[in-house]
Amino acid sequence: MSRQHTVPADWAESTCTSLSCTSAEFHELYDNDRLYTNTLSQDAIENIIGLNREHLREANPRYRLDVFLSAMLDMAPNQSGKRYVAVALHIAHKKEKGAVVDIAKAWMDYLFLPSQSQMI
């Protein structure tokens, strides 16, 4: 029996815009039933966040972006959300240096610290 993963199209598009990837590249990883969500998540924590820990901490001394990303994976409200974050981190890790930091900063800025202009 295959597992069904769904992600809203606008999530994939916005992530791909931020990471300079194609929607097909995102879905190739996201829709791959051979890659379990918990395995992708654990790998992201250990091998992506872990390897970028110092860069993440230096990028924003006020917020610990490494802890923020780990919490997004650990506290995701469902498996689709966890998979989305893990896949985005895997794609970012394959891109140019700094892409993991860039996606962490974007998520912090737009998901958790919206500016007053965004709230109007």
| Cβ neighbours, 10 Å, residue 17 | 11
115 has a pLDDT exceeding 70: no
42 has a pLDDT exceeding 50: yes
The residues spanned by each domain of the chain are 9-111
Average pLDDT over residues 26-49: 95
Residues 104/59, Cβ–Cβ less than 8 Å: yes
Average pLDDT over residues 57-77: 94
Query: Does pTM surpass 0.85?
Result: no
Residue of 99, 75, 76 whose CA lies nearest to 89: 99
